[in-house]
Chain A
Amino acid sequence: MTTTDTTLTFDDAIAAYDPLLGFEVHVELSTNSKMFCGCPTEFGAAPNTQVCPTCVGLPGSMPVVNRTAVESTIKIGLALNCEIASWCRFARKNYFYPDMPKDYQISQYDEPLCSDGYLDVDVVDADGNHQNVRVEIERVHMEEDTGKLLHTGGDTGRIHGADYSLVDYNRAGVPLIEIVTKPVPGTGALAPEVGRAYVQALREVVKSLGVSDVRMEQGSLRCDANISLMPKGSPVWGTRTETKNVNSFRSVERALRSEIIRQSNVLSSGGTVVQETRHFQETTGDTTSGRVKSDAEDYRYFPEPDLIPIAPEKQWVDELRAGLPEAPGLRIARLQQEWDLSDFDMQSVVNAGALELVVATIEAGADHSAARKWWLGELTRIANSQGTSLAELAITPAQVARLAELVDSGTLNDKLARKVIEGVLAGEGEPDAVIESRGLAVVSDDGPLLAAIDEAVAANPDVVGRITGGKPQAAGVIVGAVMKATRGQADAGRVRELLFEKLGVTPE
């Protein structure tokens, strides 16, 4: 074997090999109670306080299926264009590991609740062109989450070298959905982006259904990314690795990229890729070797004798299908068209986390350009400076809509509107209350304006001369002086109008 360290770059790897992708995504459902018992599912409770005989596997306890968890799984399946099984069973997956107190996990094996679907994802290639990639879904099945282990002793808190482990079963039995794709061929250099876009699109779909909070950082959405390489044009698939611990969209992309580079170097130096689990390292962006798949992984699945089959009635499935929200990808495309935005502008709205806020502001009466302007402008600036998100700002879409209305009617100018935002965020009440208490309304009575104009005209005879002499653009000086005298509370357009009226000049 002629090993010459890492010599192939990502581009070299893609020139020589075709990547084949596959994803297994686990989603924790946000039901009130667990999959097979009535224990609560809240994240972050004190250890072993959300447990009962069933979820710690005490003798004599029996599981009973949570109907809402089945319903949520069907919704996910439908949103991913899957077939819903008319009859299916749970199965026992047997293994010895203390994260499951029963020594088996209740899962589904050869009879998943949902199968044969797809999700279309949008990626942008090197030339800036959008490409649609259809990711085929093999199956969506139900199972239960495991407990959490804490490895003690040793040096790093890792399982290797630990003296013993501590187990918290709060999470054991929380409804978990596994979404498995079919192999995704033909993505070439876009493979890492496709991976990221798939997980991102999947998260949006599940989020739109309201069945999970899908927070990668809290582990309610977890992604395992499979990848193998085959020499270009080869009909034979290579040996795949499965990378775990990929905790963000960006990590999915980085993990695939680094695994493509690693495998291509193994292969090009005459080595063989070992079928194994690898762990993504957030700090280095590399994957490290984990468990080698072996005979020991014989789970002896068999139908769960303590549960009877699930047979969703057609009418129920039809009702759920009819109640599905618009698919997120289609919705964005529709809104982009309605708002007449470029790809770039629409992407800005989405990236700013402003989509729902803008939609709600429009629903509250604002037009889309005003809604976008406030959320992406002043409010984004404030959110950034406070290190928070738009959704967490203490201002509602209805308040922003009211603000836009007040600007539109001339009661506020932009500068005053920003002061109103400041007041609302400071907890001074509704925009109208802030205007009232801070005395912020634009001066609309012409009387004080005319007085201020008279003063400014008297103070600037040379400017007046230029205006009347055919240079109406010089009016800015007078308008500025009036705005200054009224401390910004005048409507500049009205001041200009009154000035021209007084001087008997017709602008343009």
Chain B
Amino acid sequence: MSSQTSISTEQVAHLANLARMTLTDDELTRYADQLDHILHAVARVGEVAADEVPAMSHPQPMVNVWREDVVTPGLSAEDVLAGAPAAEDERFRVPRILDGE
């Protein structure tokens, strides 16, 4: 794997947009540089991983951990809404989703 990873300020701006973050131009440049360093560091792992080492998404070599289809007690509406910033009619109240288009 080559270590030519480099990340542009446009990519950082895209990620910031997806994460609903507003970043200044200075921040975009700074984070692009920082992310670049991180990606390079991670890419070095690829240099030592031989072909017979498969990529993994979980450190445990396990499969099929599951539960039987049985109902277990949950939370009451009162409890689940207790931590909500706003609630109405036993429902979570969330701000307007789309700005007037």
Pairing of A with B: yes
Partner-B contacts on A (CB < 8 A): 31-33, 37-40, 46-53, 55-56, 58, 64-70, 87, 89, 94, 96-98, 149-152, 159-169, 295-296, 298, 300, 302-305, 308-312
20 contacts between A and B (CB under 8 A): A32-B69, A37-B72, A39-B72, A48-B77, A48-B80, A66-B66, A68-B69, A70-B66, A162-B96, A162-B97, A164-B93, A164-B95, A165-B93, A165-B96, A166-B94, A167-B93, A167-B94, A300-B18, A308-B58, A312-B64
Query: C-beta contact mask, B64-101 vs A, less than 8 Å → 1, else 0?
Result: 11111111111111001101000011111111111011
Q: Do A167 and B18 touch across chains, with their CB atoms under 8 A apart?
A: no
CA distance A50 to B77 in the complex (A): 8
Count contacts between A and B, CB distance < 8 Å: 137
Top 5 closest A-B pairs, CB basis? Answer: A38-B72, A52-B74, A303-B57, A68-B69, A166-B91
By the criterion CB–CB under 8 Å, are A49 and B76 in contact? yes
Q: Cβ of A87 and Cβ of B63 under 8 Å apart?
A: yes
B76 contacts across to A, CB distance below 8 A:
49
Contact between chains at B80 and A305 (CB < 8 Å): no
The docked-state distance in angstroms from the alpha carbon of A154 to that of B30 is 42
- Across the interface, A67 reaches (CB within 8 A) one of B17, B58, B68, B80, namely B68
Chain B nearest CB: distance from A316 CB in Å?
10
Contact between chains at A67 and B75 (CB < 8 Å) = no
Minimal Cβ-Cβ distance residue in B for A298 = B18
Contact of A32 among B62, B70, B74, B97 (CB under 8 A): B70
Distance of B80 from chain A, by nearest CB (Å) = 5
- The answer, yes or no, to whether B22 is at the interface (CB within 8 Å) is no
Q: Are A166 and B71 in contact (CB under 8 A)?
A: no
Does the CB pair A65–B91 fall under 8 Å?
no
Measured between alpha carbons, how far is A330 from B93 in the docked complex, in Å?
50
- Tell me which residues across on chain B come within 8 A of A31, comparing CB atoms: 69
In-complex Cβ contact of A98 among B63, B92, B100 (8 A):
B92
Once the chains are docked, how many angstroms separate the CA of A311 from the CA of B80?
34
Report whether B67 and A38 are in contact in the complex, using a CB–CB cutoff of 8 Å. yes
Q: Which residues of B does A touch, CB under 8 Å?
A: 14, 17-18, 20, 57-58, 60, 62-77, 80-81, 83, 88-98, 100-101
Question: Is A65 a contact partner of B67 (Cβ separation < 8 A)?
Answer: yes
The answer to whether A159 touches B97, judged by C-beta atoms less than 8 angstroms apart, is yes
Please name all residues of chain A whose beta carbon is closer than 8 Å to the beta carbon of B18 when the two chains form the complex. 94, 296, 298, 300
Nearest B residue to A306 via CB reads B58
Whether A69 contacts B69 in the complex (CB less than 8 A), given A309-B63, A311-B63, comes out as: yes
Is there contact, CB below 8 Å, between B97 and A65?
A: no
B contacts with A: majority SS? loop
Asked if B63 contacts A37 (CB within 8 A), the reply is no
User: In whole angstroms, what is the CA distance A17 to B79 when docked?
Assistant: 57
Known: A38-B67, A53-B75, A165-B96; 5 extra A-B contacts, CB below 8 A, are A32-B70, A33-B71, A38-B73, A52-B75, A67-B67
Q: State in angstroms the CA–CA spacing of A310 and B18 once bound together.
A: 30
Closest chain B CB from A64 CB (angstroms): 5
Chain A residues with Cβ below 8 Å from B96 are 162-165
Q: Are B91 and A39 in contact (CB under 8 A)?
A: no
B68 and A37: CB pair below 8 A?
no
Residues of A within 8 A of B75 (CB): 51-53, 56
Chain B CB count within 10 A is highest, among A31, A37, A49, A312, for A49
Complex contacts, B91 vs chain A, CB 8 Å: 47-48, 150, 166-168
Beta-carbon nearest neighbor of B20 in chain A: A96
Interface-centre pick from B14, B20, B93, B97 (highest chain A CB count, 10 A) = B97
B77 contact set on A, CB distance < 8 A: 46-49, 51
Point out the residues of chain A lying under 8 angstroms from B67, CB to CB.
33, 38, 64-67
* Bound form: Cα–Cα A97–B96 in Å: 11
A98 to B92, CA, bound (A): 9
Chain A residues lying within 8 Å of B68, measured Cβ to Cβ, are: 67-68
Chain A residues with CB below 8 A from B93, complex form: 164-167
Please determine whether A47 and B71 come into contact, CB atoms closer than 8 angstroms: no
B residues in contact with A303, CB < 8 Å? 57-58
Q: Identify the closest chain B residue to A98 (Cβ).
A: B94
User: Across the interface, which residues of A come within 8 angstroms of B71, CB to CB?
Assistant: 32-33, 38-40
| Other-chain residue from A53, A151, A300, A311 in contact with B64 (beta carbon distance below 8 A) | A311
Partner of A166, one of B20, B70, B92: B92
**B98 to chain A: which residues have CB within 8 Å?**
159-160, 162
B62, B69, B94: which contacts A165 (Cβ < 8 A)?
Answer: B94
